[in-house]
Amino acid sequence: MAGIEIVQGDITTQAVDAIVNAANSSLMGGGGVDGAIHRAAGPTLREECRHLRATDYPEGLPVGDAVATGAGDLPCRYVIHTVGPNRHEGQIDPRLLASCYTRALDVAQQLGVRTIAFPAVSAGAYGWKVADVARIALGTVAAHPRDGIDLVRFVPYDPTSCVAFEAAFAGLAAS
């Protein structure tokens, strides 16, 4: 499918216009992808997130929503933060997960982003099976208008996750 690719790797090293952060609602960093992005971006990202919390999101970024900041020391221009649903907290509606991808694409389009990289939002610590995340993510992105966005890259970190994304991609392309 044109404009969508899967590349196993580290999302913090992707030379695209924007990367998506699988953030927690505090926007202040954490573990997994969120922590890696904050560490690689440096203190500028934390300051921008602190400002967002003090102004637009005093209660935190809601699940399924997205917001952008600069990228600090990362090789991209923007970080688009989205909060995925946490299965361990009973957030099992796939529409919440799909919203992470649609809202991130909406924000990217508002910024004029032409290339964007996504992690496996909600897989791992948030308890979603990576195969389910891959199916929902790819289906959502394929169905969403991507006007102006030339490339959507999915960047699963480990080989097992990459295989799950490749299988979901093959299934989508075959349908």
Domain coverage including residue 161 = 4-174
Please give the average pLDDT of every successive group of 10 residues along the chain, which has 175 residues.
90 98 96 96 97 97 98 98 98 98 98 98 95 98 94 97 97 86
Q: Give the contacts of 32 (CB within 8 A, at least 6 positions apart).
A: 22, 124, 125
Query: For residue 54, what is the domain's CATH number?
Result: 3.40.220.10
Residue 174 has a pLDDT of: 86
Q: Which residues are catalytic?
A: 34
Phi, psi of 147 (to 5 degrees): -55, 125
Structure tokens at 140: 């959502």
Residue 173 has a pLDDT of: 84
Give me the number of domains the chain comprises. 1
